[in-house]
Amino acid sequence: MKKYYYAVLMLFLTTQIQAQKLTQEDYQRAESFRSENLNNQIVYNLYTQVYWFEDESGLWFIDHDKNGKTYKALYFKDYKVQPLFDQNRLAQKLSLIEEKDLESGKLSLSNIERTKDGHLRFNFESKSYTLNLKTYELQLAEKEDKDERDPFESKSPDGNWIAFSKDYNLYIKSTDTGQEYQLSHNGEKEYEYATYYGWYDIMEGENAERPKHFRVNWSKDSKYIAANVVDFRNAEKMYLLDHSIDSLYKSKLLSYYRGSPGDTTMVLVKPVFFNVESKTEVKTDLPTGTHINSVAVQWMERSGQFLASYAERGFQKEFLKLIDLKNNTEKTLIAETSTTNIDNFWFKKLEGKQKVIFLSERSGWRQLYLVDIETTETIPLTQGTYYINSVVHVSEDKEEIFFLASGKNPKMNPYHQQLYKVDFKGNTTLLTAENAHHVVSFSKDGRYFVDNYSTVNRPTKTVLRLAKSGKVTAELTSADVSEVVAKDWQAPEPFQLTAKDGKTTIYGAIWKPTNFDPNKFYPIVDHTYTGPHTQMFPKSFDRAFMNQSLAELGFIVMMVDGLGTSGRSKEFHNHSYKNMGNNLEDHVLAITHLGEKYPWIDTDRVGIFGHSAGGFDTGRAMLAFPDVYKVGVASSADHDFRMEKAWWPEMYQGWPVDSTYHEVSNITNAKNLKGKLLLVHGGIDENVNPSATFKLAEALVNADKDFDLLIFPSQRHGYQGKASKYFTKKRWNYFVEHLKGEVPIWDFKWE
């Protein structure tokens, strides 16, 4: 009976909706909620960035309101917020110098710093000024001598040697005598010492040269030098064609080295070490890796010692080793292993204590551990069923570590993080008790931190706190959304449901239009990104408007994190390992859940969009769940992981490449398309090569499927300028036309 009632209601409401066409006013309202027209234009202080004075006397920040910017300062001597300077007087002074009228509330200053004599130094329109705060005398600051160091040379810490490369080999020369010494002897073109692989190194033309690079790593006592040998001899390239250059009537060929999953033809990186006194190489057993898993080196204070960290390919083993070149010894400090993958491995050496702290999921939750460098004994500093997101400050002298963690308080949303400190004995103290998401910034000396705390439906407060106790000493800003609230804006509504495993609670949020009418029937659009390295739940208030523009055109917009995304237990994360094709199952459950909960959501009209990995999701949704998702816009997508950059799919879909890559490929499943799909890509995207989008288009043609394709010839992975606005308009209208069934408006005015 309920289904019959909703069918009748839908028929009635659809008739009503068809009678109410979108207007220019609707588009203008949608456009007004785009971030550039919103942040600190009609909503203020969603997030406040602070800048700590180098003399450790205080901080400065900008307070925004409808009148513009107010530069403010807080000094630790009294914790009072006050104007940093008289903006009217400064604007008048700058107006005279610049010979133009400058509004005090629109001044854009940067690099503000206190001088020793109490003046302020700042940059304005590419010039550096010094301001006397008593007389308001304004002087152009003397230009500091630029560091003219040769980027292809590196001076040793003691100043006695200069390292450089010549004929693809590593050399050093004495700064005293100028005498040169050749350290390596077998370098040649494409097997090159003291260089590095550049992720975004683009080569232009048929026989293009790779951009020249130089890098070495001196030991702290200048007695040893580390470098890499980078081997391009068997490495294959990816290619692009740039059709966008007006002055060229032939496309420009672009290429870059970037291995794909399973490739053996990749750039190889080998670490090498030289004794400066003997001018000879010191051999180690460290491995040669590919450019996605090369060895990273951190020198210790003790001569000849360094830490070497690296992952084996496949990211199921991660190592941290102590290498001693003087004694030719190697000691394993950390050996992480996993049957799935090791993600976000992090460590920090505390050399004064001869310790290393690191984050590990070995317990099933990301926790903090301490390993003794001498004995290799490892102890847990934290224990529990919660996730440590990051270590934000370490006081080695006090033996205190400050970290942000989510899910420690079972009464809180597990995505909201709080700040804690833990000592070397494992005693943990909560420093931010508010039930909210906390984003912090520490002063250099570690005595203070600034806390931006909020939720997606509770505006941001920004406060200064004592690191010792978390006590609030001053309130800096509060978010102001009164202008949009007066226009009937309501914050996104969080929701939760049980995931596909039948036991785990997952979280999401929905956006509604400001003219929301519970008596209408709204299509729902899934804004997706199920990449296992991140999460989409909007934790903080600065994300409260991110889907409002699309909602204004008559949609409910949803974001949700299903099983397999990051930030929760290792078991939760593992759901996506070698299984990324099924990451959307929880999204389908969420749509069903919302449709049952809210009679104004039409689950027969479901759309989806996403960028990059979210673009893969979009294609996957349209092909794996064609009876659920009816309209999709997939931008800059990695539609087949076998055509992607190696590290990301190998981390999450596994290595070596197996049949699962084929099974989850959108290209493989092109025949399943039923709905309307728009494929979008930048023509010179070196991050996610457009080849997979073209290959999916070819597969859709061969399967005789109707689809749309939009290529931006001049754009890379993110769309800029006119292309950004064009894409936004295209995406809006694709859903308006194909999901709402209305005639879209193209010629509306941008603010």
Burial profile 421-430: b = 16 or more Cβ within 10 angstroms, e = fewer: bbebeeebee
Percent of the chain scoring above 90 in pLDDT: 93
DSSP 669: T
317-324 and 329-337 strand pairing: antiparallel
pLDDT at 16 over 50: no
Encode pLDDT of 588-621 as tens digits. 999 999 999 999 999 999 999 999 999 999 999 9
Mean pLDDT in residue range 711-732: 96
Q: Based on C-alpha coordinates, what's the Rg of the chain?
A: 29
Neighbouring-strand partners of residue 72: 61, 83
**Closest alpha carbon to 449 in 431, 423, 436:** 431
- CB 395 within 8 Å of CB 353: no
pLDDT at 11 over 60: no
- Residue 142 pLDDT: 75
The residue behind tokens 């750039």 is: 267
Encode pLDDT of 45-72 as tens digits. 999 999 999 999 999 999 999 999 999 9
Which amino acid belongs to residue 221?
D
Encode pLDDT of 316-333 as tens digits. 999 999 999 999 999 999
Count of CA atoms in the C-beta half-sphere (13 A) of 168: 12
**If pLDDT is split at 50, 70 and 90, which confidence band does 149 have?**
confident
Q: For the beta carbon of residue 19, count every other beta carbon within 10 angstroms.
A: 7
Encode pLDDT of 350-385 as tens digits. 999 999 999 999 999 999 999 999 999 999 999 999
Q: For the beta carbon of residue 433, count every other beta carbon within 10 angstroms.
A: 11
The residue behind tokens 């847990």 is: 380
**Closest alpha carbon to 492 in 503, 481, 504:** 481
Encode pLDDT of 117-129 as tens digits. 889 999 999 999 9
Residue 14: CB partners within 8 Å, gap ≥ 6?
A: 521
pLDDT at 39 over 50: yes
- CB 716 within 8 Å of CB 683: no
169-176: long-range contacts at Cβ-Cβ below 8 A with a sequence spacing of 24 or more? 169/193, 170/194, 170/216, 170/225, 170/227, 170/274, 172/225, 172/276, 172/279
Count of CA atoms in the C-beta half-sphere (13 A) of 623: 29
* Residue-by-residue DSSP string for 140-156: EPPPPPP----TTEEE-
Q: Which residue has the higher pLDDT, 146 or 289?
A: 289
Encode pLDDT of 127-143 as tens digits. 999 999 999 999 988 77
Angstrom distance (rounded) from CA 406 to CA 418: 6
Count of CA atoms in the C-beta half-sphere (13 A) of 618: 29
**Closest alpha carbon to 135 in 89, 188, 190, 185:** 89
Which H helix or E strand runs over 652? helix 647-652
Structure tokens at 220: 């702290």
Q: Which residue has the higher pLDDT, 413 or 248?
A: 413
Strands lying side by side in the sheet with 329-337: 296-299, 305-311, 317-324, 329-337
Percent of the chain scoring above 70 in pLDDT: 97
Longest CA span, the chain: 95
Structure tokens at 178: 């100028």
Which H helix or E strand runs over 694? helix 691-702
- Residue 248 pLDDT: 86
Angstrom distance (rounded) from CA 379 to CA 255: 47
Q: Is the previous residue joined to 713 through a cis bond, with omega within 30 degrees of 0?
A: no
Structure tokens at 118: 């109490």
- Quick one: 287 exposed, middle or buried, by C-beta within 10 A (0-12, 13-18, 19+)? middle
- Residue 748 pLDDT: 86
Mean pLDDT in residue range 671-691: 97
- Residue 54 pLDDT: 95
| Phi, psi (rounded to 5 degrees) for 614 | -70, -25
What value, to the nearest 5°, has the Cα angle with vertex 101 and ends 95 and 107? 70
- Quick one: 236 exposed, middle or buried, by C-beta within 10 A (0-12, 13-18, 19+)? middle
Encode pLDDT of 686-714 as tens digits. 999 999 999 999 999 999 999 999 999 99
- Residue 144 pLDDT: 65
Report helix, strand or coil for 722: helix
- Assign 3-state DSSP to the chain and report helix, strand, coil percentages, each to 5: 20, 35, 45
* Residue-by-residue DSSP string for 268-327: EEEEEEEETTTTEE----PPPEETTSPPEEEE-SSTTEEEEEEE-TTSSEEEEEEEETTT
Encode pLDDT of 517-564 as tens digits. 999 999 999 999 999 999 999 999 999 999 999 999 999 999 999 999
Mean pLDDT in residue range 157-169: 98
Strand positions, DSSP E, 484-593? 493-498, 505-511, 522-527, 556-561
Which amino acid belongs to residue 424?
F
Report helix, strand or coil for 614: helix
The residue behind tokens 């027969």 is: 604
- Residue 15 pLDDT: 44
Tell me the average pLDDT of the chain.
Answer: 95
- CB 184 within 8 Å of CB 191: no
Encode pLDDT of 302-312 as tens digits. 999 999 999 99
pLDDT at 18 over 60: no
Report helix, strand or coil for 341: coil
Angstrom distance (rounded) from CA 524 to CA 512: 10
Residue 135: CB partners within 8 Å, gap ≥ 6?
A: none
Strand positions, DSSP E, 485-630? 493-498, 505-511, 522-527, 556-561, 601-611
- Quick one: 413 exposed, middle or buried, by C-beta within 10 A (0-12, 13-18, 19+)? buried
